[in-house]
Structure 1
Amino acid sequence: MNWKRKINDALTGATGFQLQRVGKVDSSDSGPVQAPSADSLIRPPADPKADRLLVSPIFILSPVRSGSTLLRAVLNAHSALHAPHELHVRRLTVGFGTSLAEKAMDALGHNRADLEHLLWDRVLHRELVKSGKQYIVDKTPANAFAYQRISTCWPDARYIFLLRHPASIAKSWHEASPDKRTPEEAAMDALRYMKAVERARCALTGLTVRYEDLTAEPEAVTRRICDFLSLPWEPGMLTYGEQAVVVKGLGDWKDKIRSGTVQAGRDLPAEDQIPESLVPMVRTWGYQPGVTNPT
């Protein structure tokens, strides 16, 4: 449109500013990470000691409704582990307000992705320092879609993969918001998370934990986790007490664990209760009808 260009040229000449159309904002946090610009190569820290404040951050990579809130509370009860509510730091972005700012950062050796990594690290480190603990644990399920970016940002990160029977995940996802999604839609939506977690499991080194094992044998599982993290096991992890977090600005969203000990989960679904779309993932994760602890 020539008239739009003329108005913009006149505005630029008079004020130095231009009008630009704002792109559509994706409110979902489960999609792929925003692709960086051509000059924002995603790369590890050039100087890990100077560029990263966090040491060996821990990420729980799990689908939605897989027991990650329970595991978060259990780990947060350890004296060395700070496991806050979901922080979604991967959605924090950095932009250059002017070309001069971009050139200045380039002179320092930073592209946009580098600066985003510095921001993510600083936010998580601040939470860790406030807690007075040694290691931070992030359990945001959508992180599974960004495992490559996260592993590049923190090369020394450690990973706990939390699995649950796919049909149980889908059922719980539907029950969480039955007015938003049908059982079939819940299964397909949850499957996206499962596939993302499985891709991460194949690409990264970490510890795989099953929700069914955590609820059936909490001491044995938490001891395995502590061994993996090179931490002494603490009995308080099994009686984690009440930990409640209400996140301001997120409406009625709450992350709350009731006081008490780890309780047994629901029974595994029978074969005829497994949606056909989830059968391949059931097999991939080694679940069989009636088997509580698959190999």
Structure 2
Amino acid sequence: MAQAVAPPRRTTPTHPGSIPRTGTAPGARQHADGYTAPATARLVPSPVFVLSSVRSGSTLLRVLLNSHSRIRAPHEMHLRTLHVHLSREFTADAMRELELDKEELEHLLWDRVLHKELDRSGKDVIVDKTPPNTLIWPRLERCWPEARYILLLRHPGAVITSLTKRRADPDPEEIRAEVLEYSEKLEEARGALDCHVITYEQLTAEPEETTRGICDYLDIPWEQGMLDYGTRDHGSFRPQLGDWSDTIKSGRIQTARPADPGTGLPPRLQEIAAAWGYPTT
């Protein structure tokens, strides 16, 4: 069983409140007019994001966490697809007078969505497990400098196998490119963020130990009920909101399926898999 490989710890300190760190983060925004709005206070200053590839067990992790009395882990929220449209030529100027720009307006919207869901749940920790968040992790860090991150890894070969079986007319090259894109961003985040790293293989083989480690990271007590996710209401399981397979609907934690022995990994994916502690032969 693969053991999660801990990333090097980030040494750049976080500032109090919700003001982002100084310096240029990866993917930092650049405005043609030279204006960047300052960050404003967040209603949810320290949300939790699960960063993972698609087909890596993030829905299982979601329902386990959502079974905790203090954690709200809703379906995939796709915050990155929520945009603000400044519809008139003078709108940007009006917002600038309020020390806002398009990106910060979107951050306020994202933060409000999280706050609404957290308030509705009556819980105090919110987790967003949308896999494409992995592709924009630098922006999440800009929006929430105090956010916490759980990196959920899975053997890239197993991800390729799962995607190939899931799609009606799979394109092998397209799938490998997609898995590589996610894997590169995960490896980038692993080295840059102060995060908690687990593997899907660990989660399914040792669910109690793995979820205890997550609770320690989140500084909340572990609860036995987390392992009985099938007895809780987690909303509907359907496409675009997470996994909807019979496996997740069974209500039971099932052993992670390995990669197809015939799945060949390109050199860069082999490098990343080895860095994560997975065998590559």
Superposition TM-score tier, normalisation by shorter sequence: 0.7 to 0.9
Aligned with 1:112 (options 82, 92, 102): 102
Question: What is the CA-CA distance between 1:110 and the residue it aligns to?
Answer: 0.8
Q: What is the DSSP-based 3-state SS (H/G/I as helix, E as strand, rest coil) of the residue aligned with 1:143?
A: helix
Aligned residue number for residue 65 of structure 1: 55
Asked whether 1:45 is paired with 2:34, we answer: no
1:188 partner letter:
A
Question: What is the CA-CA distance between 1:100 and the residue it aligns to?
Answer: 3.6
Distance 1:201 1:112, change over 3 A: same
Q: What is the CA deviation profile of residues 171-215 of structure 1, one whole-angstrom value per residue up to 9, with x for unaligned ones? A: 101111041x23343222211111111111111110000000000
Q: What is the DSSP-based 3-state SS (H/G/I as helix, E as strand, rest coil) of the residue aligned with 1:245?
A: coil
Aligned residue number for residue 112 of structure 2: 122
Aligned with 1:274 (options 264, 267, 272): 264
Aligned with 1:237 (options 226, 239, 242): 226
Identity of aligned residues (%): 46
Indicate if the aligned counterparts of 1:216 and 1:264 stay in contact, CA closer than 8 A.
Answer: yes
Aligned residue number for residue 139 of structure 2: 149
In 2, Cα distance between equivalents of 1:282 and 1:60:
19
Question: What is the CA-CA distance between 1:289 and the residue it aligns to?
Answer: 5.7
2:39 partner letter:
P
Distance 1:198 1:41, change over 3 A: farther
Asked whether 1:134 is paired with 2:124, we answer: yes
Larger Rg: 1
Is 77-86 or 256-265 further displaced after alignment?
Answer: 256-265
In 1, Cα distance between equivalents of 2:46 and 2:199:
23
Distance 1:268 1:100, change over 3 A: closer
Q: What is the DSSP-based 3-state SS (H/G/I as helix, E as strand, rest coil) of the residue aligned with 1:60?
A: strand
Q: What is the CA deviation profile of residues 70-116 of structure 1, one whole-angstrom value per residue up to 9, with x for unaligned ones? A: 10111111111111111111121212222443222211111111111
Indicate if the aligned counterparts of 2:37 and 2:96 stay in contact, CA closer than 8 A.
Answer: no
1:216-255 correspondence runs (5 A): 216-241=205-230, 243-245=234-236, 255=243
Indicate if the aligned counterparts of 1:44 and 1:152 stay in contact, CA closer than 8 A.
Answer: no
Q: What is the CA deviation profile of residues 38-86 of structure 1, one whole-angstrom value per residue up to 9, with x for unaligned ones? A: 248666624x2xxx11131000000111111110111111111111111
Asked whether 1:194 is paired with 2:177, we answer: no
Distance 1:42 1:149, change over 3 A: farther
Indicate if the aligned counterparts of 1:42 and 1:149 stay in contact, CA closer than 8 A.
Answer: no
In 2, Cα distance between equivalents of 1:163 and 1:43:
35
Aligned residue number for residue 66 of structure 2: 76
In 2, Cα distance between equivalents of 1:155 and 1:34:
13
Aligned residue number for residue 293 of structure 1: none
Asked whether 1:285 is paired with 2:281, we answer: no
Distance 1:42 1:144, change over 3 A: farther
- Structure of greater relative contact order (alpha carbons < 8 Å, 6+ residues apart): 2
In 1, Cα distance between equivalents of 2:98 and 2:279:
55
2:32 partner letter:
A
In 2, Cα distance between equivalents of 1:210 and 1:177:
24
In 1, Cα distance between equivalents of 2:61 and 2:217:
15
Indicate if the aligned counterparts of 1:39 and 1:111 stay in contact, CA closer than 8 A.
Answer: no
In 2, Cα distance between equivalents of 1:160 and 1:41:
33
Distance 1:121 1:40, change over 3 A: farther
Indicate if the aligned counterparts of 1:44 and 1:153 stay in contact, CA closer than 8 A.
Answer: no
Q: What is the DSSP-based 3-state SS (H/G/I as helix, E as strand, rest coil) of the residue aligned with 2:229?
A: coil
Distance 1:102 1:267, change over 3 A: closer
Indicate if the aligned counterparts of 1:171 and 1:187 stay in contact, CA closer than 8 A.
Answer: no
Aligned residue number for residue 18 of structure 2: none
Aligned with 1:206 (options 192, 195, 202): 195
Aligned with 1:98 (options 88, 99, 111): 88
1:212 partner letter:
E
Distance 1:135 1:171, change over 3 A: same
Q: What is the CA deviation profile of residues 144-177 of structure 1, one whole-angstrom value per residue up to 9, with x for unaligned ones? A: 1111110010011000000011100111011110
CA RMSD of aligned residues (A): 2.5
Question: What is the CA-CA distance between 1:259 and the residue it aligns to?
Answer: 4.4
Distance 1:239 1:206, change over 3 A: same
2:43 partner letter:
L
